[in-house]
Amino acid sequence: MNGAVFLDKDGTLVVDVPYNVDPARIQLYPDAGLALKGLQQAGYRLVVISNQAGVARGYFEETALDAVWQTLGDQLLPYGVTFDGFYYCPHHPEGQVTGYAIDCDCRKPRPGLIQRAARALHIDLSQSWMVGDILNDVEAGNRAGCQTILVDRGNETEWVTGPWRTPTVTVTSLQEAADYILGQGAGTSDGY
């Protein structure tokens, strides 16, 4: 079983534009391509884990997310980076769209998406990392059994503490996160 790096999308991989599904407005952070390339070359699987409450709130249809994932993939192709999966939560307990306005187990800070991805992709969570820009990402990763990295870009505004909300390390960029992970060991259980 391989380790993975689970990555939050908005504010971590791409500049945060709230509820955006317009491919023309998706902008990778400048260091994302090389950071992810290094992780993938070290044997880590790369999986996006994203809350997409815009579906539950009625801001866009769930099918609009297909273009988002395609655009992310296209923007990383020049680096030779491919994602192993895209997992998202379309729910929100205060949503307005029937069927999506629920309190689910997949919405971060709950670990459901990470656990689902791990089962489907045969990922060893004890050898994995969750990287995100807010403490809900950290909590989801810690609850799933991953090590965690907070990329502090100033997006965390609440700073609500708790037993699951302390990251393994805090950094200021995705490249710094990748460097830290790579300094800890390879992404495969046999060290290759």
Cα separations (Å) of 142 from 21, 31, 114, 128?
28, 25, 10, 10
Catalytically annotated residue among 10, 31, 103, 152:
10
Strands (E), 44-84: 45-51
In sign, the C-alpha dihedral spanning 95, 101, 102, 104 is negative
Catalytically annotated residue among 8, 31, 74, 84:
8
**Contact status, residue 87 vs residue 47, Cβ threshold 8 Å:** yes
Q: Which two tokens stand for residue 166?
A: 């302390």
Any catalytic annotation for residue 66?
A: no
Backbone torsions φ then ψ of 29, nearest 5 degrees? -65, 145
Q: What letter represents residue 131's amino acid?
A: V
In sign, the C-alpha dihedral spanning 167, 37, 18, 60 is negative
Any catalytic annotation for residue 10?
A: yes
Residue whose tokens read 């391989």: 2
**Contact status, residue 22 vs residue 145, Cβ threshold 8 Å:** no
Residues marked active site are found at 8, 10
